[in-house]
Amino acid sequence: MRWILLLSLAAAVPVTAPLAAAPAAAMADAPAFADAVEAAWRRSVGGQGAEARREEQAARRAAAGSWTPEPPSVKLAHQSDRLARNRGARELEVELEIPLWMPGTRAAATALADAEGHDLDARLRLARLDLAGEVRDAVWSLRLAESELEAALRRVADAQRFGEDVERRVAAGELARIDANQALGLLHQARSAEEEARVALLRMRQRYAALTGLDRAPDEIEPEPPSLPAPDADPRLETLQRQVWAARARLAQAGVERRDAPELTLAVTRERGDFEERYATTTTVGVRIPFGTDARNRPRITAAGAELAEAEATLRLERERIEAEHDAARAELDQARRVEHLASERARLAADTRQLLARAFTVGEIDLPARLRAESEAFDAELALSRARLQAGRARSRLNQAYGLLP
């Protein structure tokens, strides 16, 4: 009767198969890390606006290389005495105003447009790298959640087998009923952990899907690069260096453009005094030259100088911070490898101990609590080893991320 009771309790809480969609998903190839990053970039705001930003910068470059700093303008004027004396006085004037480049201003504008174009390219590369960091973190979080669920399922299966063994011995009169209750409680505890792991895995899958739009995560493990690049090659430093160059170009432009652009004026006037006069045509050629004063120039130059000083200071501080981040990433990888080695040794010892105590429990040399402790220790050791291996892989990804290496 007790044996039938245990089977009915186990059947009431059936073992859930690991993800029903797994066989169908296994038929499709898992994406590579680079594919996941590319998918996330296409979905991101920066990726969708990248082409428009490049077109905007190309338009700025074209404007800087045009023949005039500003578009020409046409002025039309007509004078008449028709509403007054109406003696036939008429005057028609057509005036064309053409802005002119001052010496050096066109070259300064072109240099600034080029610097801003390089700055935009660097910003887009950095945005892609930052997104790659999010993808890497999402993938490793998903793998950890999958590992937690796999471990929980193994624990449930072990608890079921252990409970069946205990119930057989209870039925044979070798153990007390309280031991069967403890075994059943262990099964329910494993079930609870399984449900928590499923919810955590669902959350991580939704996060990854929202980021990349993909159903599957990469299966590959990022290798450690054979040689790490120099710290100055970091994309973050490159972006800041481009910002410094752009600030210098703005300062140079502010120093050259000390006045508004002069204008060449070409005007044609056709007029007469009354109906009996013939129309006379006159042509006017003129140049408008604005003056440059401190009220105009000083704010622009000082603002450009302040921007340059801030960019250079940011570059210096960021270089120190990035070098420290590189050291921390290398130390984290070394520590993860040591933890993986220690976890492997602990799992080996725990598995050996569980095997020995299982035989001792079978022949009645130890009680149930000792057996339960051995099972718990072995499970914890296996879970710690799985986590350590995944953490070592995540540390390699973080090292690549710290050095600005895309998958």
Asked if residue 31 lies in contact with residue 407, where contact means CB atoms within 8 angstroms, the answer is no
Mean pLDDT of 110-129: 90
Instruction: Share the mean pLDDT of the chain.
Output: 83
Structure tokens at 116: 């801003």
Q: Which of 10-14, 128-132, 291-295, 363-367 has the lowest mean pLDDT?
A: 10-14
15 SS3 class? coil
Nearest to 33 by CA among 300, 220, 235, 285: 220
404: left (phi over 0), alpha (psi -120 to 50) or beta: left
* pLDDT for the residue numbered 266: 92
Q: What is the CA radius of gyration of the chain?
A: 38
Q: What is the DSSP letter of 55?
A: H
- Above 70 in pLDDT, residue 14? no
Nearest to 191 by CA among 221, 228, 229, 153: 153
Q: Which of 27-31, 122-126, 142-146, 169-173 has the lowest mean pLDDT?
A: 27-31
d(CA 122, CA 239): 5
d(CA 249, CA 137): 38
Instruction: Give the type of residue at 15.
Output: V
More confidently predicted of 169 and 388: 388
* pLDDT for the residue numbered 28: 57
- Above 60 in pLDDT, residue 201? yes
* pLDDT for the residue numbered 9: 31
Residue that is written with structure tokens 């006069």 in the block: 277
More confidently predicted of 170 and 34: 34
Sorted by sequence, the CB contacts under 8 Å of residue 376 that are 6+ apart come out as: none
Annotate 73-123 with DSSP letters as a single string. Answer: EEEEEEEE-TTTT-S--EEEEEEEEEE-PPTTHHHHHHHHHHHHHHHHHHH
Question: For 265-288, what is each residue's pLDDT tens digit?
Answer: 999 999 888 888 888 899 989 888
Mean pLDDT of 295-318: 88
d(CA 53, CA 96): 34
Mean pLDDT of 21-40: 69
Mean pLDDT of 180-209: 89
Q: What is the DSSP letter of 233?
A: G
d(CA 268, CA 30): 73
d(CA 307, CA 296): 18
- Above 60 in pLDDT, residue 15? no
Strongest mean pLDDT among 1-10, 70-79, 273-282, 363-372? 70-79
d(CA 261, CA 240): 32
Question: For 381-407, what is each residue's pLDDT tens digit?
Answer: 888 898 899 999 899 999 988 888 888
Which domains does the chain show, CATH number per domain?
Answer: 2-12+34-402 (1.20.1600.10)
Q: Residue 58 phi/psi, 5° resolution?
A: -65, -35
* Residue 222 binned pLDDT confidence (cut-offs 50, 70, 90): confident
Instruction: Give the type of residue at 138.
Output: A
